[in-house]
Amino acid sequence: MSHKRIPKRKAAIAAGSVVALGAAAILLPNANASQDGASDGAAAPKTLKAADASDLASQLAGMLGDAFAGSYYDAESQQLVVNVIPGDNNNVVVQAKQAGAKIREVENSLTELASGAQTLKSEVTIPGTAWAVDPRTNKILVTADSTVTGDNWDQLESTVDSLGSGMATIKKSAGTFKTFLSGGDAIFAGGSRCSAGFNVTAGDGSPAFLTAGHCGVAAEQWSDAEGGQPIATVDQATFPGDGDFALVKYDDPATEAPSEVNTGDQTVPISQAADAEVGLQVLRMGSTTGLNDGQVTGLDATVNYPEGTVTGLIQTDVCAEPGDSGGSLFTQDGLAIGLTSGGSGDCTVGGETFFQPVTTALEAVGATLGDAAGGAGAGEEAGGEEAGAGEEAGAGDEAGAGEEAGAGEEVGGEEAGAGEEVGNGNADGTGNGLGEIVGNGVGN
């Protein structure tokens, strides 16, 4: 059966086209004009969109080489801040400033920070701990949940101290690190409930969706209703280990699954997958808590869940709860960023939450965003032409992870992804802009 839905309301905010900034366009021709820093005094940091800042950061990382010590996006000033290790090659620093970045000298190189993280991995892989590099402090931020006590806490604290006072800090979390798998609504398998993330096209051309890997290893077949007939089957799943992601193929090959996230209040077309940047403002949609926002706080995070260690995750301050696992992490302008993995706390007290990067998941499973038959959805622009089933798709097809979200459910009268009406919808029931939080989806 087809899970294509006709949207009741179009997205109030369309996905903006993301233009990659080419190195030739960014690095100004007179960047080499001064070796003494005279010209860079006039080079003010540029105001950049988050996606453009991420592109620029990648380019500068290659240009600066060993001098590059990480970067982050200052959302308030809309500037890219790049950490550098002081050295003799002032020319590349001048070029980085001319490119539009704000340069900050720091002590710890990426190699030193990586070495510190390796020490933590070899000596304190304790369930309930996590660590990620925080470029804003130029240190490793180590987090321990409420289960880390006694000898385990002493061992963790001792190991962090051994790295040196300027290398790492410890933060104590009141919650408990766990994957957000639960029983309830959205997509179901036995007594388990998860959320679909983003619709994709598998390498063989069949329609599928991405979700969390711990959902994929929990059960092979998933339904759009509790106790209902399966509609999709797990094709690949990784958890624990190098990520937390799964590719789940729709059983009906005629299923149309273009890229879109339904926030319960409006529909956001997804134009392409993008890498996260610390400081990036993000939105998370899940079947339990609906739409919530926050920012990226760490990259390449290692999390020691009770089930095992997972590496390569995105750390954020966006809340999540059981049942949100696998749900979409995306930006206001329609970039797919991550899949909900797990964390601590809830949407009352907050906490840390970790996400699988979408870019690495797509590469690992050999899939592309959206519905190949729809003609957009994977980052290609469809302009004013009709895509998929004849809907206009400015930056991708409509319907995907929103109306369908892997399965087609109605939440509060809006289509959100699993085939049945499941609750109260948004708390206010109104058409808020995407920049506002619009309630708790299916309810807490």
- Domain segments of the chain: what residues? 23-105, 108-444
CATH 3.30.1490 fits 23-105, yes or no: no
Residues 225 and 188 sit within 8 Å (Cβ to Cβ)? yes
CATH 2.40.10.120 fits 108-444, yes or no: yes
Residues 87 and 67 sit within 8 Å (Cβ to Cβ)? yes
Pairing label, strands 79-84, 102-105: parallel
Q: If DSSP codes are grouped into helix, strand and coil, which group holds residue 286?
A: strand
Q: Is 206 a catalytic residue?
A: no
Which pLDDT score, from 0 to 100, does residue 299 have? Answer: 94
Per annotation, catalytic residue among 71, 182, 214, 344: 214
Per annotation, catalytic residue among 145, 244, 265, 371: 244
Summarised one tens digit per residue, pLDDT across range 27-54 is 322 333 333 344 444 478 999 988 888 8
CA dihedral sign of residues 177, 183, 188, 191? positive
Q: Is 165 a catalytic residue?
A: no
Intervals of the chain under pLDDT 50: 1-42, 182-185, 373-444
Which pLDDT score, from 0 to 100, does residue 384 have? Answer: 37
Q: What would you measure as the largest C-alpha separation in the chain, in angstroms?
A: 70
| C-alpha to C-alpha distance for 253 and 184, rounded to whole angstroms | 27
> Which of 358, 390, 355, 362 is CA-nearest to residue 374?
390
Write out the two tokens for 61: 């990382």
| C-alpha to C-alpha distance for 366 and 372, rounded to whole angstroms | 13
Instruction: Look at phi and psi of residue 237 and say left if phi exceeds 0, alpha if psi is from -120 to 50, else beta.
Output: beta
Write out the two tokens for 430: 């109104």
Residues 291 and 285 sit within 8 Å (Cβ to Cβ)? yes
Q: Is 3 a catalytic residue?
A: no
Instruction: Tell me the whole-structure pTM to 2 decimals.
Output: 0.72
Q: Quickly tell me which residue has 């999709």 as its tokens.
A: 232
**How buried is 160 (Cβ within 10 angstroms: 0-12 exposed, 13-18 middle, 19+ buried)?**
buried
| C-alpha to C-alpha distance for 337 and 220, rounded to whole angstroms | 25
Per annotation, catalytic residue among 192, 325, 328, 341: 325
Which pLDDT score, from 0 to 100, does residue 118 have? Answer: 95
